[in-house]
Amino acid sequence: MSTIVILTTGGTIAMKRDEAAGGAVPTLHGSDFLAALPPGLPELRVEEYCNLPSAHFTLDILWGLRGRVSELLDKPEVDGVVVTHGTDVMEESAYLLDLTVPGDKPMVLTGAMRTASQIGYEGLANLTAAVRVAASPQTGGLGAVIVMNDEIHAARFVTKTHTQSVDTFKSLFFGPLGRVDGDRVIIGQRVTRQCIPCDSLEPNVALVKLAVGVDDGFLRYAVKKGARGVVIEALGGGRVPPWWMPAIREAIEAGVTVVIASRCPGGRVWDSYGYEGAYRDLGEAGALFADGLNGQKARLKLMVVLGATEDRSAIPRLWAQS
């Protein structure tokens, strides 16, 4: 019989309307979840890590969560961890766990889009499904996954796509790894991952988004403020306006790692154009590419890579590794 630890962090799954606050706030605790879960699940332990909306997460809270998950999974008596979490930055927490917590034991994140005061609160259904996934022998080695709305999504590919829908988490152009079908866990495709050993996150990494005709001011500002890395959510397959190239070259010459992601919700960064500011030009300038990671995950990965090494020459190899 498996033992699964439910590590609670807050989010809408833990929220109820509070008259004094004028809206829903995190109120439910692990013991409330345990009391409401159906019988027949594996042996469960609950632990509260924090009780916050995920918009209130700092990098220290995020890193501490990663540390606690890692400690729990190191215990021989723990078979898997389920993290209850706000949906807003859930994909980032999931991806950090995926990228940095070694081992094959399941790490499952779940939450809710509706509070426990609303009709149709789906938190307990999601939590039940997440526990089943964490206890399933098939989910070992998949890294971190998000389980919501009976779908199982790989941390690397999943993103929150809708502000209100319970069907918000999607792995665009890739699809879910599997489904929870009643009491059964069905895995249809598997992913492999490589962890980057890292003792801390480099906090000085900026994320800058491109739009038509935008100037390079935010990029220059980030470098002036001391960024060690900048992720640019570029256009299409990885393109910036030509007037961004001088600032990108200057940043790279000053020792800042520049990563090009795409503002498109799907697809990797790559193109075959010969014009200024396109993929080849950016590569020749020394930029790295986010492959299929969205901007927020590329930022986290760069924080991990820059946290893992001080040696500039090691950065491209570490970046390419996972």
**Beta carbons within 8 Å of 113's beta carbon, 6+ residues apart:** 12, 87, 122, 164, 165, 166, 168
CB of 87 vs ligand ASP, minimal distance in Å: 3
Nearest to ligand ASP of 111, 176 (CB atom):
111
Q: Which residue is nearest to ligand ASP (CB)?
A: 86
CA neighbours closer than 13 Å in the CB half-sphere of residue 171: 21
Strand 151-154 versus strand 144-148 pairing type: antiparallel
CB of 70 to ligand ASP, least distance (A): 22
Query: Distances in Å between the alpha carbon of 303 and those of 142, 182, 257?
Result: 22, 39, 11
Which residues make Cβ contacts (< 8 Å) with residue 311, sequence separation at least 6?
A: none
257-276: contacts with ligand ASP (CB under 6 A): none
Measured CA to CA, the distance from residue 51 to residue 56 in angstroms comes to: 10
Residues 102-161 that bind ligand ASP (CB under 6 A): 111, 113
Shortest Å distance, C-beta 136 to ligand ASP: 24
Judged by CB, which is closer to ligand ASP: 11, or 178? 11
On whether the CB atoms of residues 273 and 239 are closer than 8 A, the answer is yes
The structure tokens listed for 46 are 């609950």
Per CB under 6 A, the list member of 88, 150, 250, 276 interacting with ligand ASP is 88
- Tokens matching residue 167: 């069907």
- Minimum Å gap between C-beta 292 and ligand ASP is 24
Residues contacting ligand ASP: total by CB under 6 A: 10
Q: 145 and 106 in contact (C-beta within 8 Å)? A: yes
Question: Which of the residues 9 through 28 are near ligand ASP (CB under 6 A)?
Answer: 11-12
List the one residue from 8, 51, 87, 257 that touches ligand ASP (CB under 6 A). Answer: 87
Q: Report the nearest approach of ligand ASP to the CB of residue 150 (Å).
A: 17
In the structure encoding, which two tokens stand for residue 21, read together? 């606050």
Select 149 or 257, whichever has its Cβ closest to ligand ASP: 149
How far apart are CB 12 and ligand ASP at their closest, in Å?
3
Q: Which of 54/149 has CB closer to ligand ASP? A: 54
Residues 37-56 that bind ligand ASP (CB under 6 A): 53-55
Q: Which is nearer to ligand ASP, 91 or 291 (CB)?
A: 91
CA nearest to 287, candidates 321, 316, 317: 316
Q: Write out the two tokens for 286.
A: 């020394």
Task: State which of positions 54-73 bind ligand ASP (CB under 6 A).
Answer: 54-55
Nearer of residues 25 and 245 to ligand ASP, judged by Cβ: 25
- C-alpha to C-alpha distances, 187 to 137, 176, 229, 294, nearest whole angstrom: 11, 9, 37, 24
Site for ligand ASP in 179-238 (CB under 6 A): none
Distance CA 55, CA 144 (A): 20
Strand partners, 8: 48, 84
Please list the active-site residues: 12
Tell me which residues touch ligand ASP (CB under 6 A): 11-12, 53-55, 86-88, 111, 113
